[in-house]
Structure 1
Amino acid sequence: MLDTPALMILIAGLYEGFRRSRKALLTAKKPLVSTERARRILAVYLALMAFLGSGFLIIAHWQPVPLIAMLVLFSLIAAQIAPYALLAANRLLSPFEQRVKARYLGEAKEKLAHLQPYIIAITGSYGKTSTKSILAHILSSAAPTLATPGSINTDMGITRVVREQLKPDHRYFIVEMGAYGPGSIARLCRLAPPKLAIITAVGWAHYERFKTVDRVFDAKFEMADAARANGGKTIVNRDAVPQNKLDERLSRDDSLILVKTNPHAEAVHETITGLSVQSAKQDRDGISLVINGSDFGEISLRAPLYGLHQGQNIACATAAALQMGMPISSIKAALATVPQSRHRLEVIEAKGITIIDDAYNSNPSGFASGLELLDILQKPGGRRLLITPGMVELGSRHDEEHRTLGELAGQHVDIALIVTPERILSFIEGFNSRKNDQAQLLRFATQDEAQNWIKDHARADDVILYENNLPDLYEQLPGF
Structure 2
Amino acid sequence: MFVAFELFSHILFSLCLGYYMMTALQWYNYRIKRVILHFHKIYWHLLFFFIPVLVYYLAGVWAWVYIYFAFLPWLVVWARKLDKPLVLTARVKRFFAFLLFAILFQDFLCLASVNCVNFGLLMPLAASLIISSFYEKLIFHGFYSEANTKLENRSNLVIIAITASFGKTSIKHFLAHILSQKFTIYHTPGNVNTLTGLVQDVNKSLPENIEIYIAEAGAREQGDIAEIAKFLSPQVVIIGQVGSQHIEYFKTLEAIRNTKMELIHSKRLKHAFVHKSLNILPSNIVHEYGDELKRVEATLEGTTFEVFIDGRLESFKTDLLGEFNAQNILSCILVARALGMELETIKDAVKSLPFVAHRLSPMRVGGKLILDDSYNGNRSGMEASYRLAAKHLGRKILVTPGIIESNIEENEDLAKVMNEVFDIVIITGSTNAQTLLRGLKKPKIHLLKDKKGLEELLAKETHSGDLILFSNDAPNYL
- Tell me the TM-score normalized by structure 1: 0.77
Q: Report the CA distance between 1:30 and its aligned residue.
A: 2.5
Identity of aligned residues (%): 27
Q: Per the alignment, in what secondary structure is the counterpart of residue 402 of structure 1?
A: helix
CA distance in structure 1 between the aligned counterparts of 2:190 and 2:75, rounded to whole angstroms: 27
Q: Report the CA distance between 1:14 and its aligned residue.
A: 7.1
Partner of 1:234: 272
Q: Report the CA distance between 1:28 and its aligned residue.
A: 3.4
Q: Report the CA distance between 1:310 and its aligned residue.
A: 0.9
Question: Is this contact kept in 2: 1:124–1:202, CA < 8 A?
Answer: yes
Question: Is this contact kept in 1: 2:418–2:440, CA < 8 A?
Answer: yes
Q: Report the CA distance between 1:348 and its aligned residue.
A: 2.8
Q: Report the CA distance between 1:25 and its aligned residue.
A: 5.3
Matched, 1:37 2:52: no
Q: 1:18 to 1:400 in 2, by over 3 A?
A: closer
1:386-397 counterparts in 2 under 5 A? 386-394=398-406
Code of the aligned partner of 2:90: E
Partner of 2:297: 281
Q: Per the alignment, in what secondary structure is the counterpart of residue 458 of structure 2?
A: helix
Moved more, 25-34 or 312-321: 25-34
Residue 138 of structure 2, aligned match among 83, 86, 99:
99
Partner of 2:100: 46
Q: Per the alignment, in what secondary structure is the counterpart of residue 115 of structure 1?
A: coil
Matched, 1:133 2:133: no
Residue 199 of structure 1, aligned match among 239, 252, 262:
239
Partner of 2:40: none
CA distance in structure 2 between the aligned counterparts of 1:351 and 1:464, rounded to whole angstroms: 12
Q: 1:29 to 1:421 in 2, by over 3 A?
A: closer
Residue 373 of structure 1, aligned match among 384, 388, 391:
388
Partner of 1:414: 423
Partner of 1:402: 411
Partner of 1:466: 470
Question: Is this contact kept in 2: 1:138–1:331, CA < 8 A?
Answer: yes
Q: 1:49 to 1:334 in 2, by over 3 A?
A: same
| CA deviation string 1:10-57 (max 9, x = no partner) | 9xx979998986776566322433222111112222323444665788
Question: Is this contact kept in 1: 2:299–2:322, CA < 8 A?
Answer: no
Code of the aligned partner of 1:456: K
Matched residue count: 417
1:16-415 counterparts in 2 under 5 A? 28-51=82-105, 81=121, 85-116=124-155, 117-226=157-266, 229-238=267-276, 240-241=277-278, 245-246=279-280, 249-250=281-282, 253-260=283-290, 276-294=292-310, 297-376=312-391, 378=392, 380=394, 383-394=395-406, 398-415=407-424
Code of the aligned partner of 1:286: G
Partner of 1:475: none
Q: 1:299 to 1:453 in 2, by over 3 A?
A: same
Question: Is this contact kept in 1: 2:377–2:473, CA < 8 A?
Answer: no
Q: Per the alignment, in what secondary structure is the counterpart of residue 192 of structure 2?
A: coil
Question: Is this contact kept in 2: 1:390–1:402, CA < 8 A?
Answer: yes
Moved more, 457-466 or 311-320: 457-466
Q: Report the CA distance between 1:471 and its aligned residue.
A: 7.3
CA distance in structure 2 between the aligned counterparts of 1:27 and 1:420, rounded to whole angstroms: 13
| CA deviation string 1:169-193 (max 9, x = no partner) | 1111111111322222111111000
Question: Is this contact kept in 2: 1:371–1:408, CA < 8 A?
Answer: yes
> RMSD across aligned C-alpha pairs, in angstroms?
3.3
- Tell me the TM-score normalized by structure 2: 0.78
CA distance in structure 2 between the aligned counterparts of 1:421 and 1:206, rounded to whole angstroms: 18
Q: Report the CA distance between 1:349 and its aligned residue.
A: 2.6
Code of the aligned partner of 2:401: P
CA distance in structure 1 between the aligned counterparts of 2:99 and 2:295, rounded to whole angstroms: 58
Moved more, 167-176 or 337-346: 337-346
CA distance in structure 1 between the aligned counterparts of 2:177 and 2:81, rounded to whole angstroms: 33
Question: Is this contact kept in 2: 1:124–1:199, CA < 8 A?
Answer: yes
CA distance in structure 1 between the aligned counterparts of 2:207 and 2:99, rounded to whole angstroms: 37
Code of the aligned partner of 1:281: E
Question: Is this contact kept in 2: 1:408–1:431, CA < 8 A?
Answer: no
CA distance in structure 2 between the aligned counterparts of 1:220 and 1:209, rounded to whole angstroms: 14
Q: 1:431 to 1:166 in 2, by over 3 A?
A: same
Question: Is this contact kept in 2: 1:403–1:428, CA < 8 A?
Answer: no
Q: Report the CA distance between 1:161 and its aligned residue.
A: 0.6
